[in-house]
Chain A
Amino acid sequence: MAEEFLVVKDLHKSFNEFKAVNGVSFSIEKGEIFGLLGPNGAGKTTTIRMLSTVLGADSGDATIGGHSIRRDAEAVRRIIGVCPQDLALYEDLSALDNMVFFGRMAGLNGDEARAQAMTNLELMGLEDRARGKVAKFSGGMKRRINLAIALMGNPQLLFLDEPTVGIDPQSRNHIYENILGLQKKGMTILYTTHYMEEADRLCQRVAIMDGGQIITLDTPYKLKSQIGSPEQVTMEDVFLKLTGRSLRD
């Protein structure tokens, strides 16, 4: 068994009386791409916010690279990168300014920050627009910048919260390839998405959450096998079978 890089133990978080995350436990191996799936309101983003130390957990704990998110948040922050579900960009600044700024916040010096910014912009196919103002970018370009910023500082663990929402198939494919490239370089990735074929294609294992709890966790192949021939059923079938057809939120 490979080394476990992220270990989550019984995380809980309530907003007022509402239990958004209700006892979540799982672990991710080093170098793995792990899919966190679930209908709207399942608690995926809340889980990621706790793991990235932005939101305090009510109870439970997690360790990332051996550091506890509760007791050693500072050390955790140094080795993670976050691509939030909501675009988190300074619209009035250029793409490059955004990247360099967050690079410096991640502890890079000026030269390192500029060099990494250019590399990551190239990775996202945006090197030509480096000096363009983000406000003038298309939705897909903003998404790619949002992801590129998460790579600044070369984090060991990447949280990608729906990085491909609202972008065209070309950009999406571009992003898949990049993510696979990052994995090759040894990055560990926690990935959430509502595109089931995306999870099937990228993730070594997926967990499906509903109502703040993980209801199943396995490789896409095994999950599909549970309900039929893995060649014929899709992850979408698995998802709907497990989470039901009623609307959420």
Chain B
Amino acid sequence: MKNLKHIWFIALKDLKIFTKDRAAVFFFIGFPFLFIILFSFLLGGVGSEDERMELHMVTLEAAGGLSHQIIGAMETMDKSQLGPGAPKMVWDRDYDEARRAVEDGELDGFIAFPADFTQALMTGSGTQLEVFADAGNVNARAALNGLAGAISSQIGTHQVIINSSVALMVEGGVIPADTASINTAVQQIMNELFAAGAAGAEASYVTFRTEKVGEVEAENPANFVIPGYLVMFVFFAAAVTAETLVRERQNHTLERLLATSVRRESILGGVFTGTALRGLIQIVIFWVVGILAFNVDLGLSPLAVIILSILMVIMSSAFAVMLATLARTQRSAGSLATITGLLLAPLGGCWWPFFLYPDWLQTIARITPHAWATSGFNKLMVFGADFSSAVPNMLALLGFAAVFGAVAVWRFRTSAA
């Protein structure tokens, strides 16, 4: 009881200090508002008639090139066959026209295959897909980058298979070992592979990961943009308050606290609680504004969204306390907070829709708590999943919180002794 009171008074004291810092208040509460207003501007065109994301592709190659096979295989022929959240693929025929359309703001962006695409693949000299997008349209750019990444990784895999098959054929004497024959063989295999893909109903070369598909129609981009920024801001703002404990040490009030009958754990608990209180205020603001101004849909299980948000706050606050016990100076606490806050956010799917990331990147991103949070929100709010499917994400966030908390307590014990 006494300990809980101590924790509570330390948290209130931190909140009081926080409210005296206008810049901090703006960062926590005003800034997300500003961001949301900015979004309504950026996303203005997206949510109108057809909310499905469109991805455009163009090739500079002459007809017969491999890029024609690839685009043909991916192009969406029948929109009604698309799953929820899957983007519509459009084949634009004229590069210059597409470019002009982007410059005039009529098109968000497109991917272009270079004129030497097939040749470069044959000779193994490497090639580059061009992503041409409106600099201001983060979502379109992200989606196109994700698509380009997916195409190149898929082609890379095929390339390896083909090269090794051809090598086997040469070794086995099936084809002669001169350049012309090998090129012909490679070209033949590739054409067959891509033709097979085009004939099939699904484009099997570029797969988009969609975690779970429910009964949801084309979605409102705010449904994945707002949770992304919520995750980023809650985490970042919490991490920044790691400075609280360091400041407490530097202005000697920590020493003063240690000489009172307050337990060590209560001091950490107080910093944690103060940070969490601020986080809760943030998520309330995010969701209220999201629902009222952006028509955000919390999906089948609003309770799961709320629990996930609260766990996000708890995890972030635990991270903040851990950071505070690791950093020696206020400055290092600040820079560690900024680095982790800004590095983990894009990796964890806060800036771009996580479900558009290529599989390998999604796998890597799982080391960040952000990815578990954003993919959980995506499941619930984009793919119409129910409570139970978000449970793994909730458990993961709890796990992160427990690890961060344990490190913090251990560090605080050893460094305060």
B259 within 8 A of A: yes
Given A56-B417, A77-B259, CB of A107 within 8 Å of CB of B9: no
Contact B13 A88 (CB under 8 A): no
Interface check A90, CB cutoff 8 A: yes
Which of B53-61, B247-255, B370-378, B399-407 lines the interface with chain A? B247-255
Interface size in chain A (residues, C-beta < 8 A): 28
Q: Does A93 contact B (CB under 8 A)?
A: yes
Q: Mark A143-185, 1 if CB is under 8 A from B, else 0.
A: 0000001000000000000000000000000000000000000
Q: B261, A77: Cβ atoms under 8 Å?
A: yes
* Count: A-B pairs, CB below 8 Å: 62
Do B9 and A101 have beta carbons less than 8 Å apart?
A: yes
CB neighbors of B among A132-147 (8 A):
133
- Given contact pairs A88-B252, A88-B253, A89-B251, A107 touches B261 in the complex (Cβ within 8 A): yes
Which residue in chain B gives the minimum CB-CB distance to A104? B9
- Whole-angstrom CA separation of A93 from B247 in the bound complex: 14
Closest Cβ of chain A to B321, distance in Å, is 19
Question: Which residues in chain B, 1-37, are within 8 Å of chain A measured between CB atoms?
Answer: 2, 5-6, 9, 13, 16-17, 20-21
* B262, CB-defined interface residue at 8 Å: yes
Tell me, rounded to whole Å, the shortest Cβ–Cβ distance linking B258 to chain A.
5
**A window 70-88: CB within 8 A of B:** 74, 77-78, 80, 82, 84, 86-88
What bracket does the count of chain B residues touching chain A fall in?
20 to 34
- The dominant DSSP class at the B interface is helix
CA distance in complex: A41, B225 (Å) = 58
Is A105 a contact of B16 with CB atoms below 8 Å? Answer: no
Asked if A91 is at the interface of the complex by the 8 Å CB criterion, the answer is yes
**How many whole Å from A149's CB to the nearest CB in chain B?**
7
Which of B255, B258, B261 counts the most A-chain CB atoms under 10 A from its CB? Answer: B261
Cα–Cα distance between A92 and B14 once the two chains are bound (Å): 10
Known: A101-B9, A107-B2. A86 touches B252 (CB 8 A): yes
Is A52 part of the binding interface, using a Cβ–Cβ cutoff of 8 Å?
Answer: yes
**B260 interface residue per 8 A CB criterion:** yes
CB pairs A–B below 8 angstroms (28 shown) = A53-B259, A54-B255, A54-B258, A56-B417, A74-B261, A77-B259, A77-B261, A82-B256, A82-B259, A84-B256, A87-B251, A87-B252, A88-B251, A88-B256, A90-B17, A90-B253, A92-B17, A93-B17, A101-B9, A101-B13, A102-B256, A105-B6, A105-B9, A105-B260, A105-B262, A106-B261, A107-B261, A133-B20
**A binding-site residues for B, Cβ under 8 Å:** 49, 52-54, 56, 74, 77-78, 80, 82, 84, 86-93, 97, 101-102, 104-107, 133, 149
